[in-house]
Amino acid sequence: MSHAHRARPAATMAVTAGLLGFVALSGCARFDDSLASPFEPEPTAGGFAELVPPDPNQTPTTEDEAPEEEGPCVDPDPAVIATCLEPTAGLTVLPGGGAALVTERTTGRVLTVAPETEPDEFTQIDVDGSGDGGLLDVALSPTFFEDRLLFAYISTPSDNRVVRVAPGDTPRPVLTGIPKGSTGNGGSISFDAAGGLVIRTGDAGDPAAAANPGSLAGKILRLASPSPANPGDPQIVASGLTGTGGACTDPVTGTLYATDRTPGGDRLVRVGDAGSLEPLWVWSDSPGTSQCAALDNEIAVALVGGEAVSFVEISSETGIVTGDPVFAVEGRYGQVYGAARGPEGEVWAGTVNKASGDPVDSDDRVFIIPPDGGGGISPD
């Protein structure tokens, strides 16, 4: 299949740094080593790094005044905003769009990343990073700046689960018992417009489990009011999602989309009202569809093996795909896993080259693809 490309913009979009300057505080939880016992982390002190708005009276440093930076962690590409990370997984853009949280899958670290700012540890969660498990994704509470709550999708030695983390507290289980395997653990979490937590679970290496109504693997789940005090049973929104992938919600229409990997190719599907999976596009060359971001009449899909972000345009009138997907940054950053929408329609994405690709000195990285132009074409 031929690949169309988004044209390289004249300059990388300037992202307004509305949430910069962070004071780091330490804090993490510890797993019980027993596989048979429930996950009860030991209490520890600490909490989240503080998000502090920039000082409006501070004189900005001009380009001419800035010292020339060198070293393996300096990437000359202006779209790259964070370097020398461990393999990334989930991304969520902070309100205002000036910064994002990115997870390191195997270390359990959640980092704040922003243009022209060193990555800063926001918090750390103990995880089991074996296989393709670990810290799989994070989502901010819809009222984060009031309640300071962070939700995380993680692997423990015995299962995959969703936990809630508050400053100065330990992760508290919200949903447990999601099957865990040596592979097939990757997934995503996000909040929908109604405040429900949407969880896309992997099939834990067992495709048959995705179709099994008694298993939480290979599903899209929803918790109407996620809370450790009242976890309840999740609503099964959709079944039959094989492999790993992500789910994303159109912020305007509320339409839910998901990606998965099947023997016949990797898919982007729309989730129908009754939980049906309506294929919108199938990549027969199986480029490794991963997380997605819903834009205006367009879905951005991160491709691990395809080393690109694919943009699938969908008609607002008919709901069908209008043409072949357009590939951005193909071959430019290596293997791309995470994708998240920014407030101006830009896409924040992260790489996983240290885990399964061909890493360069500055890997792993987070970069931004500007709206209506992509992050560049593949190298000539």
pLDDT digit string (tens) for 277-316? Answer: 999 999 999 999 999 999 999 999 999 999 999 999 999 9
Distance in angstroms (rounded) separating the CA atoms of residues 143 and 20: 19
pLDDT band at 17; cut points 50, 70, 90: very low
Higher pLDDT: 21 or 98? It is: 98
Q: Is the pLDDT of residue 25 over 60?
A: no
Distance in angstroms (rounded) separating the CA atoms of residues 9 and 24: 35
Q: Is the pLDDT of residue 81 over 60?
A: yes
Domains delineated in the chain: 76-369 (2.120.10.30)
Mean pLDDT score of the chain = 85
Q: Is the pLDDT of residue 60 over 80?
A: no
pLDDT band at 230; cut points 50, 70, 90: confident
The tokens for 124 are: 């750390």
Q: Is the pLDDT of residue 100 over 60?
A: yes
Would you state the pLDDT for residue 168?
A: 85
Rounded mean pLDDT, 145-154? 96
Q: Sign of the CA dihedral 15, 21, 25, 26?
A: positive
**Low-confidence winner among 26-30, 219-223, 253-257 (lowest mean pLDDT):** 26-30
Rounded mean pLDDT, 346-358? 98
Q: Is the pLDDT of residue 29 over 80?
A: no
pLDDT band at 85; cut points 50, 70, 90: very high
Rounded mean pLDDT, 90-116? 97
Would you state the pLDDT for residue 229?
A: 85
Distance in angstroms (rounded) separating the CA atoms of residues 136 and 172: 16
- Residues whose CB is less than 8 angstroms from the CB of residue 196 and which lie 6 or more positions away in sequence, other chains included: 222, 223, 224, 225, 226
Diameter of the chain measured on Cα atoms: 62
Residue tagged 């982390």 (tokens)? 41
Would you state the pLDDT for residue 213?
A: 96
Q: Is the pLDDT of residue 32 over 50?
A: no
C-alpha to C-alpha distances, 168 to 26, 146, 171, nearest whole angstrom: 9, 15, 10
Phi-psi region of 35 (alpha: psi -120 to 50; beta: other; left: phi over 0): alpha
Q: Sign of the CA dihedral 208, 210, 212, 214?
A: positive
pLDDT band at 28; cut points 50, 70, 90: very low
Rounded mean pLDDT, 130-154? 96
